[in-house]
Structure formats: C-alpha cells, structure tokens
Amino acid sequence: MKFRETQLENGLQIVAECNSRAYAASLGFFVNTGSRDETDEISGVSHFLEHMVFKGTSRRTAADVNRELDEIGSHSNAFTAEENTVYFATVLPEYQDRALDLLSDIMRPSLRNEDFETEKQVILEEIYKYDDQPPYGAHEKCMEAYFQGHPLGRNILGTVESVSGLTCESMHRYFQQRYSPGNITLVATGNVDFDRLVENANLQCGDWEPFETQRTVVPSGCRQDFHVIHKASATQQYVVQISDGPDAMDVDRYAARVLATILGDDGGSQLFWELVETGRAEFVGVGNYEFEGAGILMTYLSCAPERAADNLCRIRDVFLNAERNGITSAELKQAQSKISSHIVLANERSSNRLFVVGSNWLQRRDYRTVREVIDSYEAVSCDDAARILSKFPLSRNTAVAVGPLETLQIAEV
Amino acid sequence: MSTTVLTHQFDNGLVLLAEPMEWLESAAFALLLPGGSCNDPTGLEGISNFTCEMVQRGCGGRSSRQFVDELEKLGVDRGAAVSNAHASYGGAMLANNLFLALEIYADLVRCPHLPEEQLHDGRQVCFQELRAVEDDVAQKVMNVLRQKIYPDPWGRVCHGSEEALERITIGDIRNHFQATYHPRGAILAVAGKIQWEPLVDHVAKLFGDWQPVLGEPLNETVNSSEYQHLDYPSSQTHIGVAFDCVPYSHPDYYQARASVGVLSDGMSSRLFTEVREKRGLCYSVYATMNSLKDRGAVLCYSGTSTTRAQETLDVLMAELVRLRKGVAEDELDRLKARIKSTLIMQQESSRSRTSSIAADWYLLGQVQTLQDISQRVDDLSCESINTYLAAHPPADFVTVTLGSQPLEVPIEVS
C-alpha cells in the first residue's frame, strides 16, 4: 500500500493509494462543489449538472458514454452532496486507461439544450420519488430548519420550482464558476499504475483552463426548535433532530463518532436498548457529519405515531443522562472495537476506499492509512466523550417530525 | 481467478461450505436454517420472523444484552433475516474472531431462551417492521407481485399480518423453533482468511450432535395472475411486472440471465436507455432474476409520476416483448465484461462470497467456483441466448400497480 500525490500545472490534484494486491482499480473525479455553493435561484444545479455530465461531450454522445462505461465492465456512478460532487468508476486494472479517458472526457461535458430538457424530467421524478418515500423529506426539512438560511441548509436536489426554472445557460455559468481544475481532485485506489495515471491525466486534463473558485464559509449554530409536518398517507412517524457537532477540521470528530456509536448505533447502543429492542420504535440512530466550517450530530427516529411523544422524551432522557453522567469505559471499549472492525471490513474493497481517501483529501488535504484512523478512534477517552457532550449537547436541537400526527407535544423535563 | 470451495456434510445433514481467501483480513459466515416464511402455518403468518426476533433474546448462558455485548466486543458486524426459504444469521469480522462468533451462534440456533417475558417486546418489534413496510410502497408492490407470480407459500414475505402476529403465543414460537431450527437442510457458509481443517473440527464440535427433524412437504395454492391495482393516495405510481423464467438449476439459466442482463444490467441496458435516458420517464427502472429451487421469475419495477405512468408501463412492456426478437452481439459483449468484473471484484469481500456459495448450495446442491461461472459466461453466445428466447419468450405478464389510479395493461403484441 503506497500513497502518491502530484499536481498538474493547471492545478488539478492527483492522489492515489496504490495496492498492487487489489483485484480492482477505482478512479474518481472529486469536485469541490455542491449545494452549499449554489444560490436559492439555482438550487439543485450541482445535482442536475452531475446528471448532465453523462450526457456527452464533443467526442461522445450520451449513448456512447453509457455504452463505453459498460464495455469496460465498470461499476460507475456519481453523487452530489452538500460540498462535493463525485464521478467514479471501479474497473479491472487492465481498463485503467480507458476508464480515465472516459471519466476525464465527461468532465468537460457539452451540456446540450435538448438533453437538458429531457433530463430535467428525470430530476423532477427523482424529487417526487423522495417526497413519496420515508422519511418524506424530514431530513432535508430539518437541515433547512437547523441551518436557517445558511448555504448548508439548501436541499441537494433543489425544489420542483427551482429545478423547473433552471436554464441550460445558468448551468453553463455554474460549470464555468466551479469546475476549474484547481477545484477538482483525481483520486485513485486499488491496483492503480500511478505513473501511467499521471501521464494520461496530463494528456487528457492538462489543457483544462484554470480559473479562480471561491466558497463562502459563514458560521452556523443551533436554535432549539420543533416543527411538525402533517403527512396523512404515512403509517409511521419520522423525526429528525440536529444538534451542533465538530466540523471537518476538528480532531474531536473521532470522539463524536465514538459517542454517536455508544448512544445511537443501530445495534447495542443506549437508544437501541431503550427503544428498538423493546419494540417502542422501528429504528433509532445517531450519526455525526462534518463539513467545512460546520458539523452536526443527527438523530433519526421512526416509530408508530402514538409512540412518538414518549419516544422523544426517552431520547432526551438518554441524552441528558449522558450529558450529566458521561459514559463508562466498558461502553467506550465496546464502541471502539465495533468501529475498528467496521473500518477494516469496509476498507477491504477498493471502491469503498476511494470515497474514504477522496473525501479526506478534499476536506483536509490529508492522507491517513486504515491503521492511523483506527488509532485515532482507539485514543478517544471517556473524558473526550464528556467534553464533546458539554461542547455539543445533543439535548439542544432542532427537530422536524413528519407523519400522520398533526401536532406533537413533548412533556417538559 | 483462482478460488476453491470446500464442502463437508455432517451426518445430521448440516452442510459446511468454505471458500478460503487468504488475501483478506476478514472472515464472514452465513448460517441458513430451513425456517423461512414459506413454513408459516395458515393463521400464524409472520411467525418465522417473530421466531427470528425471539431467538436473539438470550441463548446458552447469555442474556440478550450479553449476547449483543459479546458480539460487539468481537467486532462482529452481524445480521439476521428471514427470506421465503430460510431464517439466516450471519456476520463479518476480523478472521481471528470467527471461531468465538460461531460458538455464540451455535448457542443461538440450538439453545435460545425464547423468554416468555420478552414476548410482548418481540411482538412490538414485529409490528414496527410490518408498519415500516406499509410506508415502503415500492417494496409493497414487489411483495404483491411475488405473491402473484409464485403459488402460495412460495411468494410469501416474512412480515405476516397484524391479526396473525397478535395471535402468536410463546408456545407457537417454541413449536415453530423445534420444527424449523435443525440441521437437515441447514447450510453454514464461511469465507475469508480461514483454514479448512480446524474449521471442520470446530463446526463438528459445535453442531455435530445437533438432532435433525423430519419436515413435512408443503401444499401449493395457485394465486390469481390478473392485473391488480392497489389504491394509494400519491402523485407517484409504482409499477411491477413479472413473467415466468427458468430457475437457477436449469441448464439454460445463464441464457435467461443474460437476456435479463441485456434488459437491465448497466447504463446502456435497454430499460435504462428506453425508459429513462431517451424519454426521461422515471428515475428508477429495473428487471431482475429471482429463483426458487424449481422455478424462477423475472421481476421488473418502475416508479414514476401518475401522469406519466401509463407511458412508462407501455414502454416497459414493449421492451419485454421486443426481447423475444433476441439480443445483439454488442449487447452481449458489454454484458460479459460487466459480469466478469463483478465476479472478480467479489474476491474483495468475504461477506458477498458467503451469500453466493450458500445460495448455490441451496439451489443447486453444489457450489460453483468463480472460475466455473466465468466459463459459463464465456460460453454464452447470441445464438444460444436467442434460441433460449425463442423457446421461452417473455409472455403471460403479471402486473401490479400502486397509486391513485389504475393503468391500462397493454395487450401483448405477439
């Protein structure tokens, strides 16, 4: 396993974790842009653009792109998040050159108007689809309520109105503001020939024109708030709570994940025993998410509507108890062993490793081996967890409930 | 690709399968017991799932909390599920913890406490799962489709009904456990960084004296295959279409699999191209093969806005009918490349190998290595696929929709 990195003259960064024993090679272009880099008028453009990138270039039609991705037997896809957009393919090592040729070509898309109008329908269908399945937008609504106008509160897919109103010209403009080579990293993991990768990247991406890109980072913070959205056709009640957490540069993110595991992992956590094992809830979980300049802890609950108020009280009690009394060393040890094992298992696949290496590089310009990451989790102490709980109290949160209930009252402490 | 699958059948019927993958740090196991939802007695639908919930509430010398704590200390990423045929328990972990994990699971399937005082909580968990499926309407359509394409009990899903769950007693659970948790028909599949001989010895120690039970054959009832619409207040319509197909054990299985691959594998597949790429009709569309021991089906899905649902169904059906005319050389070449890379990439995951080898044994009574499958894929030709399609043309479609209005099912073009 060897880490390599370089940068082309136009600013494109190339990083790779090369493992000559791997069966596959994964390649991805990680673009440092997402919904936080949009304005309300063009909300959803990052994600729409991600779809349009597969619609052809000066050298290829949309059908050519799809056909060639299949010809090399690739497992390829793309996704858009709050602050990055990622295009990736996992292939057998002998297809490294073709995969790079294809991926680098689509990173300079034609963005043709007729494809734009057809794809707009697909995007609208995607929005309707998520509106019609659990948790019925509870996650997006809670992000919006928590971030109160902060760019991170913007819906990744956009809204029906914003997407309907998007034009091909505005997408071209957004592309020209965000897809500068200096704002993109080519990431590779698995059985990769790095020298060849750099040589080919130079040929295929070396002429991409660089320009300045900027991201506005403004402070965010939690306001205690509770919203109920009535969805008559739902059977279960879905509740999302968001509270403050460590941001992407904060070393406390390791302690935050350990804490989230102790309190709200989907098996064997405090909330699991209190709510799921007893059949009071279908699912409850706590997770930590880091961004540039902001971090959140998110709690998710799904349960029968008549149980929701009681369950929310119980969740609050679990949080308050942890904030007052901390966690035990036995809980800490158990969570650490669970996390370590999970990391080793997940990183056996080159394709999973791509996202870990890529997002770490995008967020921190840093490379860490699996061992180093595990060591960071093993170093977390009970005092660290207590500090996290006092700095980022889970009991202080913004919540959104969606489901059959028209009102939802939680008893005072 | 060079893999070996080792097998050993114990006198009591339990089959041990193992695929050593010494390049990994992990090991995974899957233990399949003949306790799937096809065995649920009429009136007690959901009992297999309820039993699966209850066996995890303490076993051997452990309470349910000790059971979970021990597995977590071993770093076992665990799961339990009930399919139509099996109750299955599995986990992935660092390889040196495998034997300890198997000891815990031996207690789980052989001597669970099935505690009466936890029956209420277990029942509530089953209710929650049942209610969650009500909200997952895409899955609901596919569940109903499965129930229509296969005779009962082969199309049953595990969640049962609220009335039946309400009725189940601890005595029912204990009887069901006795009847279905035994070694005859059980499969233990292991893959990862393992050594065969110590594994056989260890499994013999844990399961060798487990007593088999003779099961009774199940009676089949054919369901109506008429179009069914489920009324649901939504701006979306979910569409499921199914047709009969040869099973996994059939000599022509790979021809059938390839024809469905042309329909749905990859971004250049016919359904993705015609329904989504060219017309922008939907976000999700797919077709997939499903196989029982002696029969199989192709299950197709698409979900879209109600106003565009009729066109989506029409285009989907037209593609199924067009498949009768056969597949083209370039489509097959792409499919072969995709299947080959999938097979090779499976070698990066011990967990995915355990499920593949266990399914092979259940459906075929033997295990195919990755090389065997690779050879079968190499042997595919357009001619062999098209001969298959001529003999088994997609026909007699079963359709289920869910949404605010029913659709017109197109009359098939022959």
pLDDT number for residue B215: 79
Same domain for B195 and B246, yes or no, is no
Please list every residue in chain A whose beta carbon sits closer than 8 Å to the beta carbon of residue B126.
279
Number of structural domains (chain B) is 2
Residue B307, domain CATH: 3.30.830.10
Determine, yes or no, domain membership for B219: no
Q: Which pLDDT score, from 0 to 100, does residue A267 have?
A: 86
Same domain as B166, residue B255: no
Whether residue B253 is found in the same domain as residue B154: no
Flag whether residue B4 sits within 8 Å of chain A, measured between CB atoms.
Answer: no
Nearest-Cα distance to chain A for B381, in Å, is 16
Residue B339 lies in a domain: yes
Strands B228-231 and A237-244: unpaired
Nearest CA to A141 out of A393, A409, A401 is that of A401
Pick the residue of A128, A274, A303, A307 with the most B CBs within 10 A to test the interface with B by mutation: A128
Chain A within 8 Å of B237 (Cβ-Cβ)?
no
Residues of chain A with pLDDT > 90, as a percent, come to 93
B71 interaction partners in chain A (CB closer than 8 Å): 268
Gap from B145 CA to chain A (nearest CA, Å): 19
Q: How far is B213 from chain A (nearest CA, A)?
A: 31
Residue B134 lies in a domain: yes
Q: Is B3 on the interface with A (CB under 8 A)?
A: no
Q: Which residue has the tokens 């999938």?
A: B342
Question: pLDDT tens track of chain B, all 414 residues?
Answer: 667 999 999 999 999 999 999 989 999 999 999 999 999 999 999 999 999 999 999 999 999 999 999 999 999 999 999 999 999 999 999 999 999 999 999 999 999 999 999 999 999 999 999 999 999 999 999 999 999 999 999 999 999 999 999 999 999 999 999 999 999 999 999 999 999 999 999 999 999 999 999 878 888 998 888 999 999 999 899 999 999 999 999 999 999 999 999 999 999 999 999 999 999 999 999 999 999 999 999 999 999 999 999 999 999 999 999 999 999 999 999 999 999 899 888 888 999 999 999 999 999 999 998 888 989 999 999 999 999 999 999 999 999 999 999 999 997 654
Q: What number is the ipTM of this complex?
A: 0.92
B92, B60, B399, B59: which is closest to B226 by C-alpha? B399
Give one DSSP letter per residue of A142-206, joined into a string. HHHHHHTT-GGGS-TT--HHHHHH--HHHHHHHHHHH--GGGEEEEEEES--HHHHHHHHHHHHT
Res A42 pLDDT > 50? yes
CB contact under 8 A, A132 and B234: yes
**The predicted structure's pLDDT at residue B414:** 42
Tens digit of each residue's pLDDT (9 = 90 or more) over A259-317: 999 999 988 999 999 999 999 999 999 999 999 999 999 999 999 999 999 999 999 99
Q: Are residues B200 and B294 in the same domain?
A: no
Q: Which domain, by its residues, includes B84? A: 6-207
**Is B265 inside a domain boundary?**
yes
Q: For residue B74, list chain A residues with Cβ-Cβ distance below 8 A.
A: 337, 341
- Which ranges in B63-214 belong to alpha helices (H)? 64-73, 98-110, 119-135, 137-149, 162-167, 170-180, 196-207
Cross-chain CB nearest to B92 (options A65, A234, A345): A345
Q: Using CA coordinates, name the residue in chain A closest to B134.
A: A235
- Which of B72, B122, B134 has its CB closest to that of A279? B122
A339 band by pLDDT with thresholds 50, 70 and 90: very high
Do B73 and A92 count as a contact with CB atoms less than 8 A apart?
A: no
Contact A121 B120 (CB under 8 A): no
Please list every residue in chain B whose beta carbon sits closer than 8 Å to the beta carbon of residue A63.
Answer: 268, 273, 277
pLDDT tens digit string along A186-218?
999 999 999 999 999 999 999 999 999 999 898
Q: Are B206 and B186 in contact (CB under 8 A)?
A: no
Judgement on whether residues B152 and B256 belong to the same structural domain of the protein: no
Same-domain status, B255 and B187: no
- Compute the C-alpha angle A192/A193/A194, nearest 5°: 95
- Binary contact (B77, A341; C-beta < 8 A): yes
Residue B1 lies in a domain: no
